[in-house]
Amino acid sequence: MSIDFEAAGDGVYVVTLNRPERLNALDPDHKAALADVWRQAEARDEVRALVVRGAGPKAFCAGSDFKEMKRTGKTVGTDALADAIPTVGLELTKPVVAALHGYVVGFGLTLAIHCDIRVAAPQARLSFPEVEHGMLSGISDITLPGIVGEAAALEIMLTGRAYDAEEARQIRLVNRIAPDSFGDALATARLLAGNSQHATRLTKRLVLAERRATIARHLQAVAQARLDIEQSSRHAAVVGGGAQPRARMA
């Protein structure tokens, strides 16, 4: 499995999306592995803070690996998808810092916005291009307005265009820009790990209480929207005489 979970000292653990040959795109098995990492991190007292990064020079994560999903026929249900995203399906009270570089696309950006702090390298490019391909990013549709505001969230989601690091910083999609995003994220995680673990857990739980309640309240609507996308894909294939459908499940 190409999800690495390693100690970096001082209570900090690094989660590496380690598929650089696929721009760290993730298939259902990798998403299940991520869910397992969040479970371990929450359960283990020695884990005080986490950094999430992507291997290789080109991408943090280019989204879902649709090529592999098409080959295997495996997709991810909404509940399993929620578990793969930090502090969505499974509560994760340990702080998580995202070190972003290169492509941060689709599910990759979903991972990033559900981390607690986002540090972007100057060349990072962030986008939710799902609508261009007849897709959606349902859970992030719920979360994003609370981060950047409704107007910016609608522009990001409905245009599908890529935002450079400075644009992302200006709309608070990322916290800051650093030439060495991983080094900065690691230093930040060490700072967080040095704080009171009990106070950190309670603070994070309270800050994210409304967001988690909102997601839980709308998760069935997300599941229905994903089902509608899947059904429209099947209909398009039938009407088109077996043509490749544009809509795909994550």
DSSP string computed for 129-175 = -GGGGT---HHHHHHHHHHH-HHHHHHHHHH---EEHHHHHHTTSSS
Contact 54, 102 (CB under 8 A): yes
> Quick one: which of 185, 179, 180, 168 has its CA closest to 52?
185
What whole-number distance in Å separates Cα of residue 147 and Cα of residue 42? 24
**Cα 236 from chain centre:** 29
Name the catalytic one among 6, 21, 130, 166: 130
Alpha-helical (H) ranges within 171-208 are 181-193, 197-207
| Amino acid in position 212 | R
Of residues 140, 112, 156, 173, the one with CA closest to residue 250: 140
- For residue 179, what are its two tokens? 């030439």
Strand partners, 97: 51, 117
CA distance linking residue 139 with residue 82, whole number of Å: 8
Place of tokens 């409704």: 150
130 catalytic per annotation: yes
Residues with a catalytic annotation lie at: 130
